[in-house]
């Protein structure tokens, strides 16, 4: 329900706030509680006891079936525009993000043409995104053998506002974004440390993959071709580079629970390492992948149910900091040819919250933990100050979420470009009912901002 009212009567400003949300249930930094959230000029002005009598220009009364969440932050999205916009684009990707309660995303530097390897390419990316984003969007830069030769390239990208640099330690899947060797990884870490930046790493070891059995057309053979040991070896190299240079490092899309002891030990030693995983690694089971269902293919791969249990324990233990989508879509024709040849990427940007909430509630995990992993954690890792929490001073990015409502996933109903997802037909809990970006409902027109590291979100 919405009602209009007059002046702000809480005592300090003379003018009415832009928005007041009365929420019988809200996820706040210290847990779930009833609250009244006051919004002015796009920011949360105050979080007050529920039903505090405040008049606002707009007042929203959430029903008891809804929980007010901070907007989710997805720091691992492949938008692919420009250059491969037939795979995905800013308009479709950000509309899907908003539909899933994601109000901020960071775009990966590869799969677009040109890749984001220098300031000129970043400018091209920002120009392509301008006027097309329904949510706030920032950008990662890339580290490849060619652009780490000259330290000014890294310094310039950092100064231009990318949120960090991404590298691969194995084939990225696209020739214009080659991987780094161990020696080049160390060089990239040195350059990132020099600017107090963040190095984010696709951690699979190229030599370990080369020694594994070749991928075949069925899922079992594909899984054998990407063993957990390749992740463990690569993560050890990343941690060694951090130890030797002092660089802050972030392990992308952890799929192998076998790496958790190594990561926990590094944390205990004080290394500046953070870790993310993805909904597909936490909820899908290699044993249940249907024959030929290449919508399940991603790199690193979905492993077995026991491995997923280990990842959930890693989240509970604080070894894994965040859950992000790694939304990596492609046209249907690129998903053909069996598991050996199909493009490796899962399309799930719009579904992350209900997928994780459905699994979390079955494990006795509450919404505050889900918010910590899907909003607060990604914002903290990437330096998105003012995002990911319902606190005074933060951006008023808010989501009204119905946690008990159920729905069946229909791929054709999703907003991303191609109707492909491994979750098609799944029955999930949790429906996003309303989304506000800086206090304004996300509607039919793109109103998101393009973000730079270090600027107020």
Which token pair is 287? 């044993």
Residue 10 predicted with pLDDT over 70 = no
**What gap in Å lies between CA 269 and CA 87, rounded to an integer?**
42
Task: For residue 432, give the 3-state DSSP assignment.
Answer: strand
Which whole number is the average pLDDT over 291-299? 96
Residue 259 predicted with pLDDT over 60 = yes
Task: For residue 103, give the 3-state DSSP assignment.
Answer: strand
Which token pair is 135? 């949510």
Q: How many residues does the chain have?
A: 457
pLDDT at residue number 81: 98
Q: pLDDT tens digits for 391-405? A: 999 999 999 999 999
Cβ partners under 8 Å of residue 172, min gap 6: 110, 178, 179, 202
Cβ partners under 8 Å of residue 79, min gap 6: 88, 89, 90, 93, 107, 108, 112, 129, 137
Residue 157 predicted with pLDDT over 80 = yes
Which whole number is the average pLDDT over 88-115? 98
Radius of gyration of the chain (CA): 21
Q: What angle do CA 192, 281, 406 make, to 5 degrees?
A: 120
Residue 11 predicted with pLDDT over 60 = no
**What gap in Å lies between CA 336 and CA 440, rounded to an integer?**
41
Return mean pLDDT, the chain: 95
Indicate if the alpha-carbon torsion angle 256, 257, 262, 268 is positive or negative. positive
Closest CA to 372 of 453, 254, 276: 276
Which domains does the chain possess? Answer: 2-64 (2.30.40.10), 71-387+409-425 (3.20.20.140)
Q: pLDDT tens digits for 329-360? A: 999 999 988 999 999 999 999 999 999 999 99
**What gap in Å lies between CA 318 and CA 270, rounded to an integer?**
14
Cβ partners under 8 Å of residue 10, min gap 6: 38, 46, 48, 52, 54
Identify whether the C-beta of residue 327 lies closer than 8 Å to the C-beta of residue 93. yes
User: DSSP labels for 362-418?
Assistant: HTT--HHHHHIIIIIHHHHHHT-TT-SS--TTSB--EEEEEEEEEEE--GGGSSSSS
Q: Give whole-number Cα distances, 171 to 73, 206, 357, in Å.
A: 27, 7, 33
Which whole number is the average pLDDT over 272-297? 97
Closest CA to 256 of 237, 278, 241, 240: 278
pLDDT at residue number 3: 38
Residue 12 predicted with pLDDT over 70 = no
How many CB atoms within 10 Å of residue 385?
A: 16
Residue 367 predicted with pLDDT over 70 = yes
Our measurement of the distance from residue 36's CA atom to the centroid of its chain's CA atoms, rounded to an integer in Å, reads 28
Indicate if the alpha-carbon torsion angle 426, 431, 436, 441 is positive or negative. positive
Confidence class of residue 56 from pLDDT cuts 50, 70 and 90?
confident
Assessment of whether the complete model's pTM goes beyond 0.85:
yes
Identify whether the C-beta of residue 292 lies closer than 8 Å to the C-beta of residue 337. no
Q: pLDDT tens digits for 373-393? A: 999 999 999 999 999 999 999
**What gap in Å lies between CA 367 and CA 396, rounded to an integer?**
19
Residue 118 predicted with pLDDT over 90 = yes
Indicate if the alpha-carbon torsion angle 434, 435, 438, 441 is positive or negative. negative
User: Which residue do the tokens 């991303």 mark?
Assistant: 416
Mutual orientation of helices 260-268 and 305-317 as an angle, nearest 10°? 10
Q: Residue 17 carries which DSSP code?
A: P
pLDDT at residue number 14: 56
């Amino acid at each position: 329900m919405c009602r209009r009212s007059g002046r702000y009567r809480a005592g300090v400003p003379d003018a009415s706030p832009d928005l007041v949300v009365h929420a019988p249930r809200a996820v706040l930094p210290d847990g779930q509680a009833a609250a009244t959230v006051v919004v002015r000029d796009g920011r949360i002005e105050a979080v007050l006891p529920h039903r505090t009598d405040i008049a606002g220009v707009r007042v929203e009364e959430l029903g008891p079936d809804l929980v007010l969440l901070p907007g989710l932050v997805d720091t691992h999205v492949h938008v692919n525009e420009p250059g491969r916009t037939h795979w995905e684009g800013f308009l479709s990707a950000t509309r899907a993000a908003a539909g899933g309660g994601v109000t901020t995303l960071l775009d990966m530097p590869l799969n677009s043409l040109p890749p984001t390897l220098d300031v000129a390419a970043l400018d091209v990316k920002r120009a392509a995104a301008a006027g097309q984003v329904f949510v706030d969007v920032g950008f990662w830069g890339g580290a490849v053998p060619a652009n780490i030769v000259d330290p000014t390239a890294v310094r310039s990208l950092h100064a231009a506002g990318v949120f960090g640099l991404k590298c691969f330690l194995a084939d990225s899947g696209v020739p214009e974004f080659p991987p780094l060797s161990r020696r080049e990884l160390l060089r990239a870490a040195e350059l990132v440390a020099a600017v107090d930046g963040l190095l984010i790493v696709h951690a699979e070891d190229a030599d370990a993959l080369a020694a594994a059995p070749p991928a075949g057309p069925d899922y079992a053979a594909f899984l054998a071709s990407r063993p957990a040991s390749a992740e463990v070896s690569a993560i050890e190299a990343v941690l060694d580079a951090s130890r030797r240079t002092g660089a802050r490092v972030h392990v992308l899309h952890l799929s192998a629970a076998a790496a958790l002891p190594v990561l926990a030990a590094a944390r205990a030693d004080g290394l500046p390492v953070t870790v993310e995983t993805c909904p597909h690694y936490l909820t899908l089971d290699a044993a249940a992948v249907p024959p030929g269902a290449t919508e399940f293919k991603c790199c690193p791969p979905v492993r077995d149910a026991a491995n997923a249990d280990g990842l959930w324990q890693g989240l509970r233990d604080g070894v894994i900091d965040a859950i992000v989508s790694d939304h990596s879509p492609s046209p249907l024709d690129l998903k053909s040819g069996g598991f050996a040849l199909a493009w490796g990427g899962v399309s799930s940007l719009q579904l992350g919250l209900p997928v994780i909430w459905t699994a979390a509630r079955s494990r006795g995990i509450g919404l505050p933990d889900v918010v910590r992993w899907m909003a607060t954690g990604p914002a903290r890792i990437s330096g998105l100050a003012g995002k990911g929490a319902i606190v005074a001073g933060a951006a008023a990015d808010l989501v009204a979420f119905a946690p008990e409502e159920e729905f069946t996933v229909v791929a054709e109903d999703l907003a991303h470009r191609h109707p492909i997802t491994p979750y098609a037909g799944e029955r999930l809990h949790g429906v996003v009912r309303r989304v506000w970006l800086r206090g304004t409902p996300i509607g039919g027109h793109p109103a998101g901002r393009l973000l730079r590291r270090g600027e107020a979100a």
